[in-house]
Amino acid sequence: MSLKLSDVTLIPPGAEAAMFARLSLTVAPGETVCIMGPSGVGKSSLIAHIGGHLGRGFRSVGSVTLNGVDLLALPAEKRGVGVLFQDAQLFAHLSVGDNLAFGLRAGLRGRVPRQRAVAQALEQAGLAGFEARDPATLSGGQRMRVALMRALLAEPRAMLIDEAFARLDSGLRAEIRGFVLEHIAARKIPALMVSHDDQDALAADRVLQLRP
């Protein structure tokens, strides 16, 4: 299951010039590629484009495929792409367990199997017994682990990581980054990560520069 970008670039609303030089790469199963570049060059916009969340008015060039399927022809919910953001984006009105249950694939039916899947995910995240916890009571690292497990429970075919570790303190950042990348590699999911952090780049399998 490879993620392939061919001659991709974006043109912002009202502009004529592209945000960055055309980008071509293939991300292999289990590989994490880190995209770096100056602020404003379009790293987060690239992630939004692949995930199907790019703002209106942008124009795109090139193609994005996942295992040969044209992602750009599909709505976001049909792309099978998980995304991790800086703030974890947990639902404040749901418990930790219900946040995870929200990510479960539709084909997993029955209360007991769904509860078992949530419990297993929490155990893998080192958060066993946290089902009833309010997300507001979690630390930043705990929130990111829950966000990752929620994304993985949806069985994504690719993962996008948008500066997900930037708000964590330096000591915790390395631990959570390792946790995330190890789970992605173990599941053979191609991952594209954008970052300003040299340590993120060192942890990735490959690094590319996004250039104006």
Q: What residues form DSSP beta bridges with 109?
A: none
Rounded Cα distance, 75 and 22, in Å:
23
**pLDDT band of 110, cuts 50, 70, 90:** low
Provide the pLDDT for residue 109: 64
Rounded Cα distance, 75 and 212, in Å:
28
Rounded Cα distance, 50 and 71, in Å:
7
Provide the pLDDT for residue 107: 63
Residue 185 in 3-state DSSP? helix
pLDDT at 98 over 70: yes
Provide the pLDDT for residue 81: 97
For residue 55, what is the DSSP state? Answer: P
Angle between helices 96-103 and 111-124 (to 10 degrees): 110
Residue 103 in 3-state DSSP? helix
Rounded Cα distance, 69 and 198, in Å:
32
For residue 165, what is the DSSP state? Answer: T
How do residues 188-207 score in pLDDT, each as one tens digit? 999 999 999 999 999 999 99
Rounded Cα distance, 107 and 111, in Å:
12
Rounded Cα distance, 46 and 31, in Å:
18
